[in-house]
Chains A and B, each alone.
Chain A
């Protein structure tokens, strides 16, 4: 019963969040376009499914995964776990926090694979390319990018190096990759940077960033806690373009090999 009440509450909140979009869609459909939506009953059923699904999903995350994930993020970065003492010794080497980097990278990977917005974009991309881009290949490429991003991002918090150096270096690499990447993938790669940081990833990653910057002496949670999310949106752009370049290169190589045989 308690669960049902909580679910009802989440459902109301979800409907409230989605309400502006619904109002906008209805206004344009009825007042401006004045054209019935094909199969509108199916579409309405679809919206109901989306709302129910999101509410269930968020509710389940709140009950099952977020509490443990957040506690773990805090514990792994706490001085008691890392050094076995109440406070972190100043000038501790960066590799003392190895577990944090590993956890950060793995949790970044795992949350990205479950991100509904990314599922939607990869679904569309695979449909549009008539299956040439595989949904799983894309999602794994994005997840690997987020994993590297969070790994590097936690390393940055530990070492206290300035954020903009990493982000600018990242952008420069993205620009260089753009010149060489296949044209088809560019827009999609840029998009994948934006969708990775959403419902599942942000709460856990933010908890990790805040916990880490609270635990390390000399870090300011307000300034250093931010920024992990920026890492999670730059690195997938690189990994998706890298994935496309690799696929392209392998294709060329097999093409050349088959030509030689002839």
Chain B
């Protein structure tokens, strides 16, 4: 049975911080509200949509952001760090890498933004006569893109974790990756370049980012000789770089 003190510890105390987070959330949203308001009043001067809806919506956004930050502090961050530490203790490279790959792959394959981009991309490719414009071949092209991107994010996290363990400087890998992107841009079909660049941006979702950041930082703090700031970050950068390389590779294999 959950006693009164447990309720206090797990629900009430975190919610106390909620108050100060509300202030923070208001401050975070102020710029958007100002930009939209100023442009609305001074430049566009269109009739304002239903005021009550907008007001309620803003309250939702502010509460949501504040709750999210509380959840980060007591849920996502401790979880990511606890797992990093447990993996380091267990000392099994295989399971750690499998976990990293799984985290990247599973969060990406079902990502709604990626599904939208892949669908859009299949239309672009059909218009460019790269693939037949019947639903079946467009569908399989879109699915192929999604699997390629998810696979590349999995590999990115995996490589990023190896990098933390070995202490390789992040810039060599990233600059190498950029060089690959530039060379491939020159050869890849034009229809896939835009999609490739965008797929790098859509892969990192709001729940994955804190987990991945906590995992990297946790791992770098547990391993002797690693600096959490220098070595712990960088996983997200890999996860947004590698999809570009893989998607252009997919285009090159498929269309050349």
What A residues does B120 contact at CB under 8 A?
Answer: 222
In angstroms, Cα B40 to Cα A123, docked, is 33
Q: How many residues of chain A get a CB closer than 8 Å to chain B's CBs?
A: 102
A-contact bits for B96-108, CB 8 A (1 contact / 0 none): 0001001100110
Task: Given A42-B9, A63-B60, check contact A187 B71 (CB 8 Å).
Answer: no
Pick the contact of A120 from B62, B191, B210 — CB < 8 Å?
Answer: B210
Contact B204 A109 (CB under 8 A): no
CB distance from A114 to the nearest CB of B (A): 5
Task: Given A24-B106, A195-B209, check contact A76 B43 (CB 8 Å).
Answer: yes
Contact B123 A222 (CB under 8 A): yes
What A residues does B254 contact at CB under 8 A?
Answer: none
In angstroms, Cα B67 to Cα A60, docked, is 13
Question: Which of A42, A63, A191 counts the most B-chain CB atoms under 10 A from its CB?
Answer: A191
What B residues does A178 contact at CB under 8 A?
Answer: 171, 175
CB distance from B5 to the nearest CB of A (A): 12
Pick the contact of A124 from B69, B71, B195, B217 — CB < 8 Å?
Answer: B217
Stretch from A83-91, A162-170, A249-257 contacting the other chain:
A162-170
Contact A103 B204 (CB under 8 A): no
| CB under 8 Å from chain A, chain B span 112-139 | 112-113, 120, 123-124, 127
| CB under 8 Å from chain B, chain A span 22-56 | 23-25, 28-29, 32-33, 35, 37-39, 41-56
What A residues does B69 contact at CB under 8 A?
Answer: 53, 116, 119, 123
A-contact bits for B26-61, CB 8 A (1 contact / 0 none): 001101101110011001101011000111111111
Contact A46 B78 (CB under 8 A): yes
Task: Given A59-B64, A65-B61, check contact A24 B35 (CB 8 Å).
Answer: no
| CB under 8 Å from chain A, chain B span 212-234 | 213-214, 217, 221, 227-234
What A residues does B236 contact at CB under 8 A?
Answer: 121, 190-191, 194-195
Task: Given A3-B56, A56-B61, A116-B206, check contact A194 B200 (CB 8 Å).
Answer: yes
What A residues does B239 contact at CB under 8 A?
Answer: 194
Pick the contact of B64 from A54, A111, A120 — CB < 8 Å?
Answer: A54
Contact A81 B44 (CB under 8 A): yes
In angstroms, Cα B172 to Cα A84, docked, is 51
What B residues does A226 contact at CB under 8 A?
Answer: 194-195, 197-198
In angstroms, Cα B74 to Cα A229, docked, is 32
In angstroms, Cα B181 to Cα A184, docked, is 25
In angstroms, Cα B72 to Cα A61, docked, is 20
Confirm or deny: B75 has a beta carbon within 8 angstroms of a beta carbon on chain A: yes
A interface secondary structure, majority? helix
Confirm or deny: A64 has a beta carbon within 8 angstroms of a beta carbon on chain B: yes
Confirm or deny: B159 has a beta carbon within 8 angstroms of a beta carbon on chain A: no
Question: Which of B14, B54, B68, B111 counts the most A-chain CB atoms under 10 A from its CB?
Answer: B68
Confirm or deny: B66 has a beta carbon within 8 angstroms of a beta carbon on chain A: yes
Contact A49 B70 (CB under 8 A): yes
Pick the contact of B72 from A55, A123, A167, A198 — CB < 8 Å?
Answer: A123
For A27, give the chain B residue with the smallest CB separation.
Answer: B102
Question: Which of B14, B32, B228 counts the most A-chain CB atoms under 10 A from its CB?
Answer: B32
| CB under 8 Å from chain B, chain A span 111-146 | 111, 113-114, 116-117, 119-121, 123-125, 128-129, 143
Contact B46 A53 (CB under 8 A): no
Confirm or deny: A148 has a beta carbon within 8 angstroms of a beta carbon on chain B: no
Question: Which 4 A/B pairs are nearest by Cβ-Cβ distance?
Answer: A46-B75, A64-B57, A60-B60, A57-B64
Provide a sorted-by-A list of 10 A–B residue pairs whose CB atoms are within 8 angstroms: A17-B207, A24-B99, A42-B74, A56-B60, A57-B65, A63-B56, A222-B123, A222-B124, A223-B194, A232-B201
- A42-B14, A49-B71 provided; 10 other pairs, C-beta below 8 A? A28-B99, A43-B74, A56-B63, A64-B56, A64-B60, A110-B32, A113-B32, A129-B229, A163-B193, A202-B202
